[in-house]
Amino acid sequence: MLFCIVLTIGFAKVDLGVGVKKGDWMEYGVSYHGLPELAATFFGYEIIQVDGTKLKITGTTNFSNGTVETENYIVDIFRNSFRDFDGFIIPAPLGDGDSFYSGDESRGDLIVDSIENRTYSGVERCVAVVNFSRSGGSNIFVYDRSLGVLVEYQRFESDYSIEVKLENTNLWSPRILGIEPAYFYFLIVLIVLFVGLALFFALKKNIDSNSN
């Protein structure tokens, strides 16, 4: 939880904006129960262009029958023009109790219910969790807090359920031996410096001893 606490302090006075950049890509696995045989099994998208709060995005969907569809989207994360993109990207960073427009007039604004630490694509991230219920069904949206990208979505209806979960991305690197890459390489540098200094002083002591 420390990671989220640090981010909360750092984001206290930051204005909401776009957390992604050109070239960022995300890939999601899709699982379902009770839906027709023909359903999506994979969805991925790439940010092609960023212009203020507007994004140009190319999305690819794989279906269970082998069909692949590619579609282009123009998304404004502060307006309802991202309705067709179904909220895969929202303003960032949002905190506990903050709200954002869902892109769907029937949903209206959605409110962040909690800030948590969860692991996605091999890395622990600080995420914003949103719960939404309508017409007997329930929805759970989970967004990376600092980037505003969807990392998990669950929908539960009386006769079916869907789960979408981030599997691969270039937004962050997987951990090395359970350690964040930046910390891992920092530790390697410290170890190298320590060993170098130890060898230096050992060599210096040996030279001084031989001189005497």
55 in Cβ contact with 89 (< 8 Å): yes
Does the pTM of the predicted model rise above 0.85? Answer: no
**Strand, coil or helix: what is 161?**
strand
Which fold is adopted by the domain 2-174?
A: YmcC-like fold (2.40.360)
Going by the DSSP 8-state scheme, the letter that residue 174 receives in this structure is: P
Tens digits of per-residue pLDDT, 163-183?
A: 999 999 999 865 555 555 555
From CA 212, how far away is CA 210, in angstroms rounded? 5
Tokens (6 digits) for 85: 């993109």
At 15, the amino acid letter reads D
The residues spanned by each domain of the chain are 2-174, 178-212
More confident residue, 32 or 115: 115
Mean pLDDT within 177-206 = 68
Average pLDDT, the chain: 81
Tens digits of per-residue pLDDT, 3-23?
A: 465 445 444 445 788 999 999
From CA 11, how far away is CA 147, in angstroms rounded? 12
More confident residue, 53 or 46: 46
